[in-house]
Structure 1
Amino acid sequence: MDNLELNVEDQVTEEVVEETSPISLLPFEEENVDFDTFCKSDFRVVKVKDCVAVPKSKKLLQFTLDDGTGTDRTILSGVHAFYEPEELVGKTLLAIVNLPPRSMMGIDSCGMLMSAIHEENGEEKLNLVMLNDAIPAGAKLE
């Protein structure tokens, strides 16, 4: 499969926020990552094939993802306070896929889903980065 270039500004699905909702951005972290380290991150488009709550966890959802390789990828993400599993099936998301597996609740998570966090009316909100469904699984973010 050819690597497809992805322009985030053109492809990220916009969320509509009511004008009456005061929104504040969380402060930037002070720790810097050098350019060479950042360039090693492999950001890919993934399609959610299945999503279920992880038993005995209040926060974790287990995603079964199509990452364009022909083999399903499992990623666990602590987003259950913000999403129900069934609303994420079929969505197109952004993930870092070259992280070492991390075991959580006895399940290996092979990557990390990208999200945005902000405050709204004094409450923390989280939005997974959702992309245009026309972008194929496995497309590389450049």
Structure 2
Amino acid sequence: MSLKTPNNPTKFNGEFNIFFCLILSMNEKKEIISYGEFLKLDIRIGLVVEAESIPKSRNLIKVMVDLGEEEPRQILAGMAQFFKPEEFVGKKVVVLTNLKPRKMMGLWSKGMILAADVGNKPYLLSLPPEVKEEVPVGSIVR
């Protein structure tokens, strides 16, 4: 797949759009993986404690997520076209924590907040309010 075509949704004003890359990859047939490979994924519950727009970025939101670690983790979410930063704050979200860190717009992203794709619109995978308090940050998702 080439990222140079003007109609390619993975680029938006020259900026790499992670969410649309995920949509493209989700629509491709995936290779079957073993249970052992699945176990390599570290997916946990995190609480969004801060979120802010990134200057000069139309796609990314800088999100600080409490995963029960010493300090909140910085994650860049490619969802600014769909959510305002304040819509993230206070939500318990599902996070892929062992994704290789990646630098975008001069900032490091150290994980990925997971979302469902419905008609090319992301829906955050988060805990409903009635169980939000019962599930502590850092809980493993299996």
1:130 and 2:130 aligned: no
Determine what percentage of the aligned residue pairs are the same residue. 35
Q: CA deviation at 1:28?
A: 6.0
In structure 1, the partner of 2:51 is 51
In structure 2, the partner of 1:94 is 94
CA distance in 1, matches of 2:30, 2:100: 24
Please, what TM-score do these two structures have when normalized by structure 2?
A: 0.74
Cα gap change, 1:31 to 1:59, in 2 (>3 Å): same
In structure 2, the partner of 1:73 is 73
CA distance in 1, matches of 2:99, 2:28: 23
**What is the SS of the residue equivalent to 1:37?**
helix
In structure 1, the partner of 2:20 is none
**What is the SS of the residue equivalent to 2:93?**
strand
CA RMSD of aligned residues (A): 1.5
CA distance in 1, matches of 2:112, 2:139: 16
CA distance in 2, matches of 1:40, 1:117: 23
**What is the SS of the residue equivalent to 1:95?**
strand
CA distance in 2, matches of 1:80, 1:105: 14
User: How many residues are treated as equivalent by the alignment?
Assistant: 113
Q: CA deviation at 1:100?
A: 1.6
In structure 2, the partner of 1:35 is 35
CA distance in 2, matches of 1:69, 1:141: 16
Structure 2 stretches of 5 or more lacking a match? 1-25
Q: CA deviation at 1:81?
A: 1.1
CA distance in 2, matches of 1:87, 1:47: 12
